[in-house]
Amino acid sequence: MPATPTASGVAPVAVVTGATGGLGEAIVRALAGEGFTLGIGYHRAAAAAEQLARQLPGSGHFAIAAPVTDSAALAAMAAGIDRRCGRCDVLINCAGTTRFVAHGDLDGLDDALFDSIFAVNVRGAFASVRALKSLLERSELPGGAVVVNISSIASVIAMGSNVAYCASKAALDNMTRSLARALAPRIRVLAVAPGLVDTDFVKSLDQAWRDEQAARTPLRRLAMPAEVARAVVAAVTQLTFTTGSIIAVDGGRPLS
């Protein structure tokens, strides 16, 4: 029996966009460990998504194309989930993009990069909710269906990989609150906002910069992917009377 069964006793279905990234994979594994059937959303990494589906505990997991900037493709994704599962209980908007550009380098943050960041990080999350809304409304989870947007403390401290990234996460937080109000009571909407997470992407950045970020955090280290994943699981399975909230997993960084 799954750890969080629906009212009918079947395993709940969770769809994760950007599921093959370091943070997405940690979330997928954590939800599978709680008894969820996972829809592993990918953009280009089909083989990695299929391999991840095979590695998870439980059964019924599947890889599915989820290019979040393509609304027609997201509609096709939703139709595929409907045929396979008949509903969606949880959506984790983990797809995101950025590139390191110093905040003072305004010319380095060109229009194409700026637009791409907002298209993926903000519009992509909205489009995914829009595509899956009717399936989420069928959920029998205690507390209703759940959308969790993966945000960042960059939305609060205005420091991150670039100016547009910080702004996109602030927009995502605001949209989280708007959608929580608009979709209640059938669908809860929350955000989990990590500090700098020690993923492969972050490990590829300058070591001195990473050390500086850790030193600026009261807990003196970066977040681990598994810690963020546990916050997502808690938002879905434990915080059943919580919606519109931004849950920080940041080691106290805004305090410094």
- Give the residue extent of every domain in the chain: 13-247
Distance, in Å, from the CA atom of 148 to the CA atom of 232, rounded to the nearest integer, reads 7
- Each residue of 150-205: pLDDT tens digit? 999 999 999 989 999 999 999 999 999 999 999 999 999 999 999 999 888 788 87
Alpha carbon distance 91, 93 (integer Å): 6
* Nearest partner of 96 among 194, 218, 179, judged by Cα: 194
pLDDT exceeds 90 at position 209: no
Place 206 in a pLDDT band, splitting at 50, 70 and 90. confident
Contact call for residues 187 and 173 (beta carbons, < 8 A): no
Spatial contact of 15 and 63, defined as CB atoms under 8 Å apart: no
- Fold for the domain defined by 13-247: Rossmann fold (3.40.50)
Q: What are the CA-CA distances from residue 126 to residues 26, 123, 232 (Å)?
A: 22, 5, 18
CB 14 within 8 A of CB 38: yes
> Given 124, 165, 167, 229, which residue is catalytic?
165
Paired with 187 in beta bridges are 145
| CB atoms inside a 10 Å sphere around CB 69 | 15
Is the per-residue pLDDT at 239 higher than 60? yes
Query: Rounded distance, CA 227 to CA 211, Å?
Result: 19
pLDDT score of 2: 46
Give this prediction's pTM. Answer: 0.94
**In Å, how far are 97, 143, 171, 246 from 175, measured between CA atoms?**
18, 21, 6, 11
Task: Please give the structure tokens belonging to residue 26.
Answer: 């940690």
Q: How much is the average pLDDT of 96-120?
A: 97
| pLDDT band, residue 3 (cuts 50/70/90) | low
Q: Which two tokens stand for residue 102?
A: 């110093």
Active site residue 165: yes
pLDDT at 143 over 70: yes
The C-alpha atoms of residue 37 and residue 53 are separated, in whole angstroms, by 10
Rounded average pLDDT over 44-51: 97
Residue 10 reports pLDDT greater than 80: yes
Identify the band that residue 9 occupies on the pLDDT scale cut at 50, 70 and 90.
low
Alpha-carbon distance of 248 to 48, in angstroms, equals 29
Task: Tell me what pLDDT residue 137 has.
Answer: 98
